[in-house]
Each structure stands twice: as C-alpha cells, then as structure tokens.
Chains A and B, each alone.
Chain A
C-alpha cells in the first residue's frame, strides 16, 4: 500500500437524505474545500452495490482514507466494515435529517448542518493514519490460573475443554480450597431439597487427568509482567526455586479468607468453645462423616442456633458492611446436617433478612422449613456460655420482645473477605527500577500503578458487576469467584467459566493486535512523540487500566495489549504528544476547526457537543430515531470517552468562535457507568479547571457545560443541547467570531 493518503468521500442519498438535502452541494464542498481525491454520491450506499463501489475504489484507485457521509457510525457497521483503510462516518441521517423538521424555514440551517458534517468527516479522516498493530504480541494463548480452589480448577478445566492449556498455581499443598473443607454443598440441581456432595474430588480428578493443565502446588507468583499475549510470570515454590513461564492471559481466582470471628466477642466467639463459625461447623461435619455432630464438650448436639449476618451488613467498626450472599443458604444446608441425621434435633436459624439467591434458593429454603428447621426473625445481642452449651439473648422482631434461647451449639454466619492482595490505592508504588516482591501481593505485577489488580469496593477485585463481569481494571487479567464478589460454589463455577472464556478472548485478540472490551476489534493503539514529552507522568498516573509503564528514563512505555483505547492518556497530555492512528488531538481538532463559522450578526450560533460514543452519542441517535429535535446550531462530535477530551479542544473551540460547548460523559463516582471506569471522572476534574480558560478569554462560564448522560436519556440529551442554545440566546453570541 502506498504511503500517500488518498481520500474517498462517499455521500449517501438514501433514507430520504437526497430528498431534503442538496447532496451535490455536499460533494462540491468535499472536493473543493476538503480536497477529497474521490467523491461520489450514491442512492443507496449500504447496499451491496454501494459498498462494492467503495471497495472497487479502494482496490483499484488506491483510496485508503474513506469518509462515508450517510448515517450514524452506529448504524450499518457490518456493511461498512472495510479493512486496511482509515475510515470515518459523517452522520447525516441521525445527526441532521431526523433531528430537524422538514419545513421550508428549517431548510437553510439543515443544509448547513449537513455541509458541516461533510467537512468534519473529510477533514477528520484526512488527519487519520491507517491503524496497524504494534507487533508487540508474542501470540501466547495459554492461561495462568492463580488459585486452586473450585473457581480456579473450573477455569482450568473449562479452558481445557475449549482447547486452551493452562497452568494452575496453588499456594497450599493441595487443590480444593475452601470447598475441600466442606462436608456438603448447597444443592445445584432439582429438586434442591438436600445438600449435595461437594464435587471437589471429581474436579480435582478432572484437573489431574487433563493433559492441558499443569499444576504447581505450594507455589506463589513472585512477578508478573508483560501484557495480554505476552505475560511473563515467575512461579516460586515454597522452597524458593523459581520458574518463569509465559502466558496469554491470567485468571485470578484467589478466593476469600474467613472473616475473623474474634472480632465478635459479644457473640461468644473465643469465649465459649461451643460458638463456632460456619466454616468450623463444616469441618466438624466432615469429621463426623455423616454421624452425629458433637460439640466441644463431647456432647451430641441436640439443639443448635445459627446466627445470620454475624459481623456482616453492619456499619460497626471492624464489621463487614456487605452481605456475603451465601450464608443464609449455607446455614440451611448446615441445619440439614443435623435434621437429616436426627429430625428431633432443634435447629433454629436466627435472621433479620433471609436471602436465598439462585434458581434453587427458595426451594432449598422451603425444604429446610419442611424438614423442621425453625426460622426466627430476630437479632442476637449476646451469646454466653451456659456450661456445656450456650444461651443466646436475642430480640424477636416479630413478637417484639427480648428473649433467650438455649443451644448446645451456636453457629455464626460470618462473611467472606476477598483475598485480593495489596490495595494499590493504599500501598505506595515502587519507583521505576526499584521494584520489589511483596509477600502480601497475589500477582506481584511490575506495573507502574501497583502490584495487584485494583479493588472496586470493600476490597473485591471487580470493575463493574453488571456491565463488565470478570473484567478487572487490568486488561487480560480476569477475576473470578469470591475474589470478585462474595459468592457460593455454584456461582463461583459460573464465574470461572465466564472468566476463562474472557481470558481466551483476550489472548486471541492480543494475538491479532486488537483491543479487548469494550472497543473490541480496534487495531489502533496510542503512541507518543518522545521529543515533545516532558515526563510529567500524567498519562501513566491517569490511565484507568495501568497500561502505561515508565522506562528507566521515565518516559512512558505503552503496552498495546493492555490498552483499552479510551484515549484518557491523550486527554491528559498537556503537550499533546499522545495520539492514536485513527483518533488524535488532530482528528477531533480538525472537525472543530472546519465547521463553518457564521459571523456575529448572522444570528447563527455554533454549539460544539462532545459526546461519549458509549452512552451520550447513542442516546442522541435514539433521540433522532424518535424524532426528538434539537438545535440546528449544534455540531456533535463523538469521542471515545470523555476522559479523552483534551482541554485544547475546548480552548480552540472557544477561540475560534463557538458560542457554547456541551460535554456529555457517563455517570461518574461510586455508581459509575463509564466504560473506562475513570474516564468521565478524570474529565470532570479537568473541566473544573476550564473556568480559568474562560476567564482569560473574558467569556461567561455558562458557555461550557459538562453533563452526565445515560444511554436512556433520549429526551434529556437533546434538551441539554437546546438548553445551551437558549443560554446563548440570553447571554449573546461569542465575541470571538472572525
């Protein structure tokens, strides 16, 4: 392919565009103003014939930069999936036609809008380069699974079934994790009536039988470096010998540790031997091996009280603020240990809110009731030793009275604490070149931003439990099982299966040089102009995914496969040296600059809308589909993430005469909706400083507005643009028109 840029502009007349808009005028602009090399109009561009016309030009005429001026970039993506070219879309259908009324008065401004979008598309594509992979990937596709419990073994077995080899690293001397210490598990099959065998032995057998799974026992990870497709991990045994292996992706299944029940002295733990945790009871049941369970005094237990939410769902200091999700079902399961052995044993589950998640949860609860397990809605305040047993003081919430219950054994349903390694927000980072192994760390990554995967909330590794399960904030490293969020065995297995598939996907994508979620398939990656870099470190600090390391000279070191292509680094860079081949300060800057700016007395203001392509832009598209109109003075530019917004765009826009700037990103903060986790938050911090810029230009602060827009805001998003138009009407046109 020749290095010369040859721009082809293709204007569609279909979907009514040709009826309402003078497309030949658009073509003239593309040719004359924008210097498009090839410019064609077509009645039905997304038809096979239309696409062939473009492909022929690419193949025969050497067109390598394609501007398709038709519908939104979110529509007809399959038809316009052209390879080995730089491509952009001018949004005439959703961006102009459907948001403007079909009236004679509106005709002039509608035509202007369409012409501007044509200019924007052609100038944008002109600033692009053809995306090419970096070639950094080593094409490894085997997986590293850290943690040999049910989650880890399931991940390895599922990966093996899909044909991918994995290495399973377990810290202790045997596989099985927490599940191996349980007598039975919560049922996973209909009729969900009785506890089931844990299935751990079968799982271990499957791991051992597989020729695709290599197991390292008594081993930990002492160093992880690289990126998807080329991870390198040091596996160190207890005796200190280290082997270094390479992997395509990593699954972290380091599970949980039991909450320390010694923090619950009021519930008698540590004071009475007959107060145990659920885990301890399961160990007792395992020892009893189906026979009667005896308490610490050697007495066969005749009455047992389970206290739910012990040290959980509580704001008290030292307690867990969250629900561990499995304990209600676990208590029912354990009560059945007694009931199935002898129906005359009194079993009471003391709960404040009984929650039995999962398909079989309610059936299992019902089965427990049917077997005679008594469920008492009450809150235990104190457990005291009564000699050979315990007395539980509790408040009955239904009968509204303080009362007591005697039991031979009291079981505390304590929660799960994630075994997530070090909290990188708390532990200071190692300086480049001074990296050290931490015994508390799970993965011991040599990443600039810290040794372990960032924690989302309450110490669990996750990035967004609804939108992107398994995705951590480290590309190619997936968390599954109770390290991600508290869960039981069945959920852990489902989790592990999902994470295994994600890991395989990440390794395969890395091999092709493609981005993983959410811009999957994107071939471009950030690069920087070293001469211009001031080593300010903003990119390495702000990258939400820790994709950028620092080299010994403290220049940023980009790892292609770790990058999610959000562009937050590009927005952060004060000297604007970071760019993607198909997304840069110039590609957006060109769009901003090439909008035709009517002079002050034309009464035609211009509003720049920078809309996040994940939520705000689709919201505007959908608004268009519904026919929700907005101001003809708006020029909407989709951006990858509000985090990629470089202040220069706003400054340039205001300097070149725009009357208002509207930024639309995703919800930030604790319940963030940002696809790149931190992008919208970072952008907001940056925008808080835009007031200085406005002041230095003597402009009103109302001219720049930043909003959180959800994908469902199809009424609100256009309204926000109209609000800005109204504001401009009030405060007047910008004085910066030329």
Chain B
C-alpha cells in the first residue's frame, strides 16, 4: 500500500487536486466547490472535525496531500446527507468524504487508531463471510477492538441491552457458531471476488 502512495506522489507530484480528481470516488467534484461554507455549517458533527468539508476541499486545492490524507476529518462523516441537500453547487459531499477516507485507507495513510475505520474494516470482514451481518460477532468484535480488559468492561456494560435483545429474539447466541447466510453464498462471494478484481484493475491503472 505504501508503495502505491509513493507512486501516486511521483505521478502527481505537487498536483494533489489532479490526484483526487482521478482517484477518489466523486473526486472530480472537488474543483467545483465555491467555498460558501454551507456544508461546514450544516454538519451536525461540524465542531468536532479538524477540517470541515469546505476546508478539506481548499486543502486539496492548496496541495496539502499529507494533511488531508492523514486527517481523521472525513472519517467523522455520519452520512446524514445534510451537506448534499444544502450544497448550492450540488456537490455529493458525503460521497466525497467517504471517497477520501477510502483512498486514504487504501494508501495506508489513514490514522491507524481511527475507530470509524476500524469498525468499517470489522464490518466488511464480517459481512463478506456469509453475506449477512453476524451481529453477535460484530458487536463482540467491536467491544474487544481495543483490548481484552476494555472488551470485558464494555460487554458487562452492554449486558442488559444484549439480554433484552435476546428476549426480543433480536440476538441469537447460536450465531457465535457460524450464523445465518444468504441463499447463494458462493454466488455472493463470486460477486465480491469480481468487484475486487475490478478494484485491482483500477489500482493497476493508477500505477500505469
């Protein structure tokens, strides 16, 4: 991954905007931002971001590659779509945020301990197995994400919730041993394989 990073640096030298335009999902929209700041003002998490979307766009144009890609800002997006609805220029801001996060992750530049990223990885690994989310494994996985001690603490804290879900038949302890799957599991996995192949080809294209 870091290999890809150096290649990208080499290829686009100091034109980060071009790199984002070419490689980031919906990245071609970044240049259309007119810096009105409506997205930043609309974001419910706005105050908690290091760089709100408008600022991220400006940083991309200013060529601040390192700062943007290592930022935790775009990982803060909760996909509420407020910014998309309000952007006077019609930028798909939510999608650009996810695109940026994804790109940073692919280049290996995303902050290592970013919880949203960790959760995203866990979720992905979980869902591609059976085509269904194994909620028991996913939640336990998330609880123990930061070590055993903290995992036990969180599990105990969530005990009542888990019990309630069990009683309401929302959580099956048997899921621990495999869990339910989609009807055509191998077909689903073939789809994922194909998607991966396409993605790989894309990366090849970046490299070329």
A residues adjacent to B (C-beta < 8 A): 346, 354, 365-366, 369-370, 372, 374-377, 396, 398-399, 403
Contacts and interface: CB of A to CB of B under 8 A. Distances in A.
22 contacts: A354-B34, A366-B32, A369-B31, A369-B32, A369-B34, A370-B31, A370-B32, A372-B17, A374-B31, A374-B61, A375-B35, A375-B61, A376-B58, A376-B62, A377-B35, A377-B58, A398-B35, A398-B58, A399-B55, A399-B62, A399-B64, A403-B62
A354 to B, nearest CB: 7
Contacts of A369: 31-32, 34
A377 B64 CA distance: 16
Interface of B: 15, 17, 31-32, 34-35, 54-55, 58-59, 61-62, 64, 89
A717 B74 CA distance: 58
Contacts, number: 35
Contacts of B54: 398
B61 A372 contact: no
Interface-central residue, B59, B61, B62, by most chain A CB under 10 Å: B62
Nearest to B57: A398
Q: Would you call the interface of chain B mostly helix, strand, loop, or mixed?
A: helix
Contacts of B62: 376, 396, 399, 403
Contacts of B64: 399
Contacts of B35: 375, 377, 398
A399 B37 CA distance: 12
A193 to B, nearest CB: 14
Contacts of A403: 62
A398 B34 CA distance: 11
Contacts of A377: 35, 58
A399 B58 contact: yes
A372 B31 contact: yes
A374 B62 CA distance: 9
B73 to A, nearest CB: 13
B2 to A, nearest CB: 27
A375 B55 contact: no
Nearest to B14: A346
Contacts of A374: 17, 31, 61
A377 B33 CA distance: 12
A398 to B, nearest CB: 4
A365 B36 CA distance: 14
A398 B31 contact: no
Contacts of A376: 58, 61-62
Contacts of B61: 374-376
Contacts of A365: 34
B74 to A, nearest CB: 16
A376 B54 CA distance: 12
Contacts of B89: 366
Nearest to B89: A366
Nearest to A368: B31
- Greatest chain A CB density within 10 A among B32, B34, B64 is at B34
Contacts of B55: 398-399
A303 to B, nearest CB: 11
3 smallest beta-carbon distances between A and B, as pairs? A398-B58, A369-B32, A374-B61
Nearest to A396: B62
Contacts of B31: 369-370, 372, 374
